[in-house]
Amino acid sequence: MAVYTEVAFAEAAALLHALNLGDLTDLQGIKGGIENTNYFVTSERNGATLQHVLTVFERLGFEQLPFYLHLMKHLAGKGIPVPDPAATASGEILHTIQGKPAAVVDRLRGHSELQPSVVHCEAVGEMLARMHLAGRDFPLTQPNLRGLHWWNETVPVVLPYLNPSQASLIRSELAYQSHVAAMPAYSALPRGPIHADLFRDNVMFEDGELTGLFDFYFAGCDTFLFDLAVCLNDWCVQHSTDSGDGAHDPARAHAMLAAYQSVRPLTTPERQLLPALLRAGAFRFWISRLWDLHLPREAAMLQAHDPRHFERVLRTRIQQAGTPSVLTSRQEACAAA
């Protein structure tokens, strides 16, 4: 149960009144997740039933959260289906509960699609491109906190837990990604606010329609291509316990790329560096899952994800490097158009 802070009914009711969200009628702790305390809140206002999510942030502080919350508010204002933080009459969207930062956002419709089809991947690709375009004029900035700097800090910490083959891989990939980051083509990649964690469980669908993107608390400013690579590495690979786990799914990948490029065509540097960024996306989550497995926080209540999945994805992406298996000639033609 991801409820570390017990919120009293009266306390939640007072916050909803301050946000002009009516009278609280139900308050339910949300199971799952290890980062924050979350509640479903239901209220009545002028005869209408309203549904929101109350989050009490257990790790992120008051100084970090404005970037994430204002990014969500900005994107919601541009028509991107993301949780929209509720504001007080004075416009404040970051609140306090029991001395901890808190936010109330509207509850998205639908459910996560954990076995996505080509159609789901097309919808995610198109919406991701729309989100990138919508965020280009967002005025706040914050680096991707799980980027190259964090990789350099974390790899030495997880190295003692790896076997020789894994240690060789993680060292060589860190050197490769450092080399890529120093390339002129990398400096030319379009950048802006990215989600950086848009996995299958962070997107909602209802009756086949994409109804929302959520969990922006790893967001930061980085290359749009990295965001796309993270999506391709989750939505467009095999997830299984057999030998095919982590394998590239060409049909889903091509569908996502084509849909993304129908809204924002990739630039020449992006097409050149997509294989390298696919490796970067896999590398980032292999490192973070190694960290979560071997150095868990005391408060973590759920079992850590198996890092071997993204190790396999990374090895697959390395094998694919320099081949036409990720971008077909049809996608390249689309990107160049």
Beta bridge partners of 136: none
- What was the pLDDT predicted at 246? 85
Neighbours of 330 (CB within 10 A): 11
Mean pLDDT, to the nearest integer, of 28-55?
90
Q: Could you report the per-residue pLDDT of 248-286, keeping only the tens digit for each? A: 999 999 999 999 999 999 999 999 999 999 999 999 999
| Residues 244/217, Cβ–Cβ less than 8 Å | no
Distance CA 37, CA 12 (A): 13
Distance CA 73, CA 66 (A): 10
Beta bridge partners of 23: 44
9-106 and 118-336 share one CATH topology? no
Does pLDDT of 333 surpass 60? no
Q: Could you report the per-residue pLDDT of 141-152, keeping only the tens digit for each? A: 999 999 999 999
Quote the tokens at residue 10. 């009266």
Segments making up each domain of the chain, as ranges: 9-106, 118-336
Q: Could you report the per-residue pLDDT of 294-312, keeping only the tens digit for each? A: 988 654 445 678 999 999 9
29 φ, ψ (degrees, to nearest 5): -65, 140
- What was the pLDDT predicted at 205? 98
- What was the pLDDT predicted at 239? 85
Name residue 280's amino acid: A
Tell whether domain 9-106 is in CATH 3.30.200.20: yes
Distance CA 323, CA 321 (A): 6
Q: In CATH, which superfamily holds the domain spanning 118-336?
A: Aminoglycoside phosphotransferase (APH), C-terminal lobe (3.90.1200.10)
Does pLDDT of 31 surpass 70? yes
